[in-house]
């Protein structure tokens, strides 16, 4: 026996829904043969892949390992099928776009709306994540495209834009400041920061070291929505890109002021898997994405790169 696609599809679906019963219903396969396929797969590999409980199934460590490979393989097969079928003029198929959580509030909606209007047969999925998560997903071919930081870029990445960083606080926090805030003053704010692996924190720690200062971190929070909520509650300030708080600024929920002396910005790139020819659907989504980025750049959200 070999690891055939049918068994991998069955296994991935069971892992996804966490239940033989539900997987059976969604796959249209009776539960007894589905269970037989899984026992056969476990016997072949010589490991237990699933722990069966009264509430469903839970992946073992071996199951997690197989799932990561199975998803990548199944996705490659789907893309191969889509490319083969793309003989007409209408792009179609699945496209997975990864995006930094801080950019999603301003980028996701226009990209989705334009894609649906222009290419209704493209199924575009947008997933948020931090830079390391997106890098790993691209390497594993789980995303077709990803907007990420230049810090984790590879040679094949395409530079997109430079986004200026802002000090962000609750309404009224910067009423007595005209124009901009120095980086040195921003480092003294009671800051809400993500963990050390995040790009903005790395950048600020580098600036603090150059200035001989310490970051005044009062809280660590993972997640943009929680960070914004904490700022609104008056629990501290954050350093974020304009895209992350633009809607809140427009609605009067948060205040933000650009950093200067020096001007701080981060470079964003478009990442793609290597040795993975793009489908027509991927190319069209990439074109939509770069067009939206250019439009937002003209509106002052960031500085686009050639």
- Chain segment 103-113, per-residue pLDDT in tens: 998 999 999 99
Question: Could you list the residue range(s) of the whole structural domain that residue 52 is in?
Answer: 5-72
Mean predicted lDDT score pLDDT of the chain: 89
Is 83 within the bounds of a domain? no
Query: Is pLDDT of 285 > 90?
Result: yes
**Element (DSSP H or E) covering residue 298:** helix 280-298
Is 77 within the bounds of a domain? no
Which of the two residues, 126 and 201, has the higher pLDDT score?
126
Same domain assignment for residues 286 and 149 = yes
Q: Which of 47-51, 122-126, 180-184, 199-203 comes out lowest in average pLDDT?
A: 199-203
- What tokens were used for 253? 């929920």
Is 25 within the bounds of a domain? yes
Same domain assignment for residues 200 and 241 = yes
pLDDT given for residue 188 in this prediction:
93
Structural domains of the chain, count? 3
pLDDT given for residue 92 in this prediction:
85
Residue 268 in contact with residue 163, Cβ under 8 Å? yes
Query: Is pLDDT of 25 > 60?
Result: yes
Same domain assignment for residues 101 and 169 = no
Mean pLDDT of 259-265: 88
Map residue 276 onto helix, strand or coil: coil
Q: From residue 258, give the alpha-carbon distance in Å to each of 21, 31, 154, 228.
A: 54, 59, 29, 17
Query: DSSP characters for 35-49?
Result: HHHHHHHHHHHTS--
Mean pLDDT of 78-94: 74
Is 78 within the bounds of a domain? no
Q: How confident is the model at residue 276 (pLDDT cuts 50, 70, 90)?
A: confident
User: DSSP letter at 213?
Assistant: -
pLDDT given for residue 268 in this prediction:
94
pLDDT given for residue 119 in this prediction:
94
Same domain assignment for residues 44 and 191 = no
Same domain assignment for residues 190 and 150 = no
Query: Is pLDDT of 169 > 90?
Result: yes
pLDDT given for residue 117 in this prediction:
95
pLDDT given for residue 261 in this prediction:
83
Q: What percent of the chain has pLDDT over 70?
A: 97
Same domain assignment for residues 156 and 237 = no
Same domain assignment for residues 282 and 154 = yes
Same domain assignment for residues 256 and 291 = no
User: DSSP letter at 151?
Assistant: G
CATH code, domain carrying 300: 3.40.190.10
Cα–Cα distance measured from residue 198 to residue 182, given in angstroms and rounded to the nearest whole number: 22
Residue 193 in contact with residue 220, Cβ under 8 Å? yes
Query: Is pLDDT of 158 > 80?
Result: yes
Is 242 within the bounds of a domain? yes
Q: What percent of the chain has pLDDT over 90?
A: 46
Is 81 within the bounds of a domain? no
Q: How confident is the model at residue 253 (pLDDT cuts 50, 70, 90)?
A: very high
pLDDT given for residue 86 in this prediction:
63
Q: How confident is the model at residue 127 (pLDDT cuts 50, 70, 90)?
A: very high
Give Cα 200 to chain centroid, integer Å: 16
Closest CA to 243 of 98, 107, 96, 120: 107
pLDDT given for residue 101 in this prediction:
87
**Element (DSSP H or E) covering residue 17:** helix 5-17
For the chain, the first-to-last Cα distance in angstroms comes to 52
Cα–Cα distance measured from residue 124 to residue 287, given in angstroms and rounded to the nearest whole number: 13
Q: How confident is the model at residue 193 (pLDDT cuts 50, 70, 90)?
A: very high
């Amino acid at each position: 026996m070999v690891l055939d696609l049918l068994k991998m599809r069955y296994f991935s679906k069971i892992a996804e829904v966490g239940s033989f019963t539900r997987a059976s219903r969604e796959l249209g396969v009776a539960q007894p043969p589905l269970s037989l396929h899984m026992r056969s797969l476990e016997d072949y590999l010589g490991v237990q892949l699933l722990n069966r409980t009264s509430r469903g199934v839970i992946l073992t460590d071996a199951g997690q390992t197989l799932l990561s490979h199975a998803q990548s393989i199944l996705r490659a097969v789907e893309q191969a099928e889509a490319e083969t079928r793309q003989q007409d003029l209408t792009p179609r198929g699945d496209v997975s776009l990864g995006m930094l959580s801080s950019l999603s509030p301003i980028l996701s909606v226009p990209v989705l709306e334009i894609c649906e209007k222009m290419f209704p047969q493209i199924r575009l999925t947008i997933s948020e994540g931090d830079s390391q998560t997106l890098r790993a997903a691209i390497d594993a071919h789980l995303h077709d495209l990803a907007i990420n930081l230049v810090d984790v870029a590879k040679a094949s990445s395409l530079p997109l834009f430079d986004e200026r960083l802002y000090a962000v606080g609750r309404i009224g926090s910067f009423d007595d400041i005209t124009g901009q805030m120095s980086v040195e003053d921003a480092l003294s704010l009671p800051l809400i920061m993500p963990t050390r692996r995040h790009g903005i924190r790395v950048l600020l720690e580098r600036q603090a070291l150059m200035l001989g200062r310490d970051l005044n971190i009062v809280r660590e929070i993972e997640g943009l929505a929680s960070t914004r909520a904490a700022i609104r509650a008056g629990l501290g300030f954050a350093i974020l890109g304009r895209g992350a708080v633009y809607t809140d600024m427009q609605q009067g929920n948060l205040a933000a002021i650009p950093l200067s002396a020096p001007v701080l910005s981060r470079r964003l790139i478009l990442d793609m898997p290597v040795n993975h020819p793009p489908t027509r659907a991927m190319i069209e989504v990439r074109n939509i994405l770069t067009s939206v980025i250019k439009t937002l750049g003209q509106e002052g959200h960031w500085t686009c790169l050639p």
